[in-house]
Structure 1
Amino acid sequence: MDSDPISRPKALLLLPPPPSPSFDEFQQAYGAALSTVCSKLSQTLAGANSKALLHIAVSIPDALSFSFQNRARVFPYLQHFLATLYKLIGIISAEENIELDVTGGLDTRVFFLDYDPVESFSQPIRTSQYGPIVDLKSLANCGRDWDCVYYLENKTGRHLATSFSSHSSATMHPVPAGADWNRSELSHRPDHMQPSEPHYSVAVGGTFDHFHLGHKLLLTATALTLEPVSDTDSDTERVITIGVTVDELLANKKYAEYLETWNERCNSVESFLIDIIDFVPLENDAPRIQRVSQPGPNGEYILMKLKSDLSLKLVQLSDPFGPTITEESISALIVSKETSKGGAAVNAEREKKGFKDLDVFEVDLIHSGNVSSVDVEKTFESKISSTEIRRRQADLAKR
């Protein structure tokens, strides 16, 4: 690990397939490894004016196969695993006094890896350099400058490390792990009896102030709803639209003087999404960015082309609906469980215009259940609340 205090420590943690959707089993399977890696990275900062970056690749067998299409049918399963893992990260950081997503703290980013410990040396039906689901070889060859790659010190973890290192010269480090477990087979297959359409234009909205675990979950879940396309079908345009609330609508927020600007919040959103989506080797072309300012509703936006058929669009959100009621092509809306009523309101407005209803996907909340004490609960909550982060900044300013 680079000890230069100016550099930003970066690491990758490879996780075998989850044992089940249960938080307790997640904690038993991954807790020791996450605790070790998070502590190691936090200690390397030693008061440096930066954040350590930890990418976490969770293995999901066959995640790139045609059996996982369309994405809408596996969304509940995958988003729940994301929420459970981010919750575990939050609890560990609270118990061990590790700062998250602030200077001097740890920035964790979770995505999925198509890996099967039983058939890891066979090629998946599909490969993808674009997440949030990526194949093993693309991940190993993406050129990210990780200081080291961590893997679990058990049979399945070593098997995953061997498969990864067959494509990469990265430094590999084992971390503690429990005994091997049987992966969940119950809920990870698509329900083909459930009617659902593929989505190529999806939307989400929020303030995204002081970027935290809840924002990461929401944005990763949004990217998961976007249907992949084959190279032979590259004429299908795919767009992720992110409405980011304008500064003027946030003036009455608590501790408003510590709110980030619209541009700062957009920078957090776009850097995170690119990081979990774009695993193309670094020597290839960077995303093309266009800033648009034109009359009419939703005329101010940033358009980022990641590839010819894949774009991110960050729109100034100045009302509760944004582009969901002006762009008929948007077919899905992603909301958290606490804002689920917003989906019905959007569809009521679309109906007035003669637009087809959006499919509304709900994302789990990251809550503080299973914590060890009231103090840990308070610390945990402070890490996933923009208001609490601003309050802490206000308290520090008074000292």
Structure 2
Amino acid sequence: MSSKEFPSLLLLPPPPTPATRVSLSAAYRPSLQAALTKTRNHDRPTTLFIAVVSPILSGTSSRDKRLSWSHAQSILAGLYSLVAAICADAGIPGEVGGGPGSVDARILLVDDHDPVGRYGEAGNKAAVVANNTAVVDLATFACTYRPWNLILYPEGEAAYRVRASFLECAERRQTILQSQLVAVESGLTMNDKTTAAQAATDIDGASGHGGRGGPQSYQTVCLGGTSRNAGSSKSSRFIVGITGDALLKNKKFAEYVQAWDERALAVVDFVSSLLDLRDEGWKETWGSTGPARSITRREPGRIEAEFRDGTVKLECVEIQDAFGPTITDEGVESLVVSGETRAGGQAVNERRKSLGWKELDVYEVDVLDAQETLDDVEPGSREDYSSKISSTALRQQRANAAAKGLTS
């Protein structure tokens, strides 16, 4: 297959501290805008991986790595909101299955504790090295995510160090042409040393749940959209509840809602971006079989996949109510919700209490809000969610585009 069919990569230096929506916009907006524009192809859909490279994990071995929940989810929510705002301003379809001219942006956190970019023999390792989180180190990322169409990076000393570290490992596994390396405009980063020190403390000493600090390990985690790995020697279960087609018939622009199978496969594909680490990279599968190589079971209303030698099992299940498997599977230990679905998490625990089951630890992520990237607004401070990034708005855009095509 042509190299142009492979995804492109944007390497970003460590985020500002504190990583607010406003500071993330100042630091990354110019780079993201340039990368999305350069990646876009009007003749076909493209994919852009955005790797934020920073020392984000703590722990001395792969089995005890820890990630600050609040810090990580703030970065991801802020960047996804920023990408959505940029795509809206530029008229770039940013959703999965957006067709020609669309850009599927996927954000990865990559751990890097080597500020001078000297990985030595790490890039020669024969096998990939995973840990008990969804975040991998830079050497593993460089070795297992390949090949690329374009490799973009911002101008500036911090980004140059990230690029040098990445290339030191990547070039031992693949040939990277100078024409693939593209410098893009950088933003402005200002760090508050006091906040940075507190962030390090949060990562090293975090505990508890409910969106604060670093979560404990779980065997089974459930949510409607994505999940966390549960650091254990046993297989970890990701249960993703995906609304059934019957419940969506009365949604606005329902004719543009993808069938359940399509939406479930998109979830498998996205999760594979985070967890499917293979020594041979994805040259033989990207754009052809895609995530199919990881699927172990497929039947109406259920798709299962395995990653990392079977240590992580993804279960996409069709749901017909707000509870899904949280009240049919006693083994579920944790639930991830958004601020908008907080009440649903409370209802789940009330039902589990009535069954005599243990209540779930609930983790809350920020609602994606493109407006917050422009205004100095704290995430969660505005709870009417009137400006959230919604699937209804995306379907309306498709409907408008289709109508325009018919009338032009």
Shorter-chain TM-score range: 0.7 to 0.9
Shift of 1:32: 1.6
Q: 1:246 touches 1:318 (CA, 8 Å); kept in 2? A: yes
Say if 1:16 and 1:228 are closer, same or farther in 2 by CA, change over 3 A: farther
CA distance in 2: counterparts of 1:257 and 1:325, whole angstroms = 31
What is the aligned-residue identity percentage?
Answer: 29
CA distance in 2: counterparts of 1:70 and 1:357, whole angstroms = 25
CA distance in 2: counterparts of 1:70 and 1:177, whole angstroms = 34
Q: Which residues in structure 2 correspond to 1:318-357 (within 5 Å)?
A: 318-357=320-359
Shift of 1:117: 5.3
Q: 1:33 touches 1:177 (CA, 8 Å); kept in 2? A: yes
Q: Kindly indicate whether residue 386 of structure 2 is the aligned counterpart of residue 386 of structure 1.
A: no
Letter in 1 for 2:216: E
- Counterpart in 2 of 1:377? none
Shift of 1:352: 1.8
Shift of 1:119: 5.7
Structure 1 gap segments, 5+ residues each: 206-217, 294-299, 373-380
- Counterpart in 1 of 2:382? none
CA distance in 1: counterparts of 2:252 and 2:189, whole angstroms = 47
Q: 2:217 touches 2:231 (CA, 8 Å); kept in 1? A: no
- Counterpart in 2 of 1:99? 93
Residues 3-29 of structure 1 show CA distances to partners (whole Å, capped at 9, x for unaligned) of x9xx53621111111112122221222
Residues 148-167 of structure 1 show CA distances to partners (whole Å, capped at 9, x for unaligned) of 21122211111111111111
Q: 2:112 touches 2:137 (CA, 8 Å); kept in 1? A: yes
- Counterpart in 1 of 2:363? 361
- Counterpart in 1 of 2:379? none
Instruction: Describe the SS at the equivalent of 2:109.
Output: strand
Among 76, 84, 89, the residue aligned to 1:90: 84
Shift of 1:185: 3.5
CA distance in 2: counterparts of 1:304 and 1:193, whole angstroms = 31
- Counterpart in 1 of 2:304? 303
CA distance in 2: counterparts of 1:65 and 1:122, whole angstroms = 19
Residues 284-343 of structure 1 show CA distances to partners (whole Å, capped at 9, x for unaligned) of 9932421257xxxxxx42211222221100111122211111112211111111011111
Letter in 2 for 1:19: P
Q: 1:99 touches 1:106 (CA, 8 Å); kept in 2? A: yes
Residues 79-108 of structure 1 show CA distances to partners (whole Å, capped at 9, x for unaligned) of 011011111112222233322121121110
Shift of 1:146: 0.8
- Counterpart in 1 of 2:199? 187
Q: Kindly indicate whether residue 230 of structure 2 is the aligned counterpart of residue 227 of structure 1.
A: yes
Among 373, 392, 400, the residue aligned to 1:395: 400
Q: 1:154 touches 1:178 (CA, 8 Å); kept in 2? A: no
Residues 347-366 of structure 1 show CA distances to partners (whole Å, capped at 9, x for unaligned) of 11111222111111111011
CA distance in 2: counterparts of 1:72 and 1:323, whole angstroms = 27
- Counterpart in 2 of 1:272? 270
Instruction: Describe the SS at the equivalent of 1:190.
Output: helix
Instruction: Describe the SS at the equivalent of 1:59.
Output: strand
CA distance in 2: counterparts of 1:190 and 1:245, whole angstroms = 34
Once the two structures are overlaid, the 10-residue window that deviates more, 264-273 or 69-78, is 69-78
Letter in 2 for 1:24: V
Q: 2:53 touches 2:162 (CA, 8 Å); kept in 1? A: no
Q: Kindly indicate whether residue 296 of structure 2 is the aligned counterpart of residue 289 of structure 1.
A: yes
Shift of 1:33: 1.2
- Counterpart in 1 of 2:258? 260
Q: 1:59 touches 1:115 (CA, 8 Å); kept in 2? A: yes
CA distance in 1: counterparts of 2:187 and 2:157, whole angstroms = 10
Instruction: Describe the SS at the equivalent of 1:303.
Output: strand
Q: 2:119 touches 2:165 (CA, 8 Å); kept in 1? A: no
Q: 1:10 touches 1:147 (CA, 8 Å); kept in 2? A: yes
Residues 184-236 of structure 1 show CA distances to partners (whole Å, capped at 9, x for unaligned) of 3432533737446321211112xxxxxxxxxxxx53xx23xx2334xxx3xx1
Say if 1:394 and 1:24 are closer, same or farther in 2 by CA, change over 3 A: closer
TM-score, normalised relative to structure 2:
0.78
Shift of 1:34: 1.1
Q: Kindly indicate whether residue 75 of structure 2 is the aligned counterpart of residue 77 of structure 1.
A: no
Q: 1:383 touches 1:389 (CA, 8 Å); kept in 2? A: no
- Counterpart in 2 of 1:108? 105
Once the two structures are overlaid, the 10-residue window that deviates more, 253-262 or 75-84, is 253-262
Instruction: Describe the SS at the equivalent of 2:318.
Output: strand
Say if 1:117 and 1:88 are closer, same or farther in 2 by CA, change over 3 A: farther
Q: 2:53 touches 2:138 (CA, 8 Å); kept in 1? A: no
- Counterpart in 1 of 2:217? 198
Structure 2 gap segments, 5+ residues each: 123-127, 209-214, 286-292, 376-385
- Counterpart in 1 of 2:125? none
Instruction: Describe the SS at the equivalent of 1:78.
Output: helix
Q: 2:238 touches 2:313 (CA, 8 Å); kept in 1? A: yes
Instruction: Describe the SS at the equivalent of 1:141.
Output: helix
CA distance in 2: counterparts of 1:163 and 1:109, whole angstroms = 21
**RMSD across aligned positions (CA):** 3.1
Q: 1:11 touches 1:55 (CA, 8 Å); kept in 2? A: yes
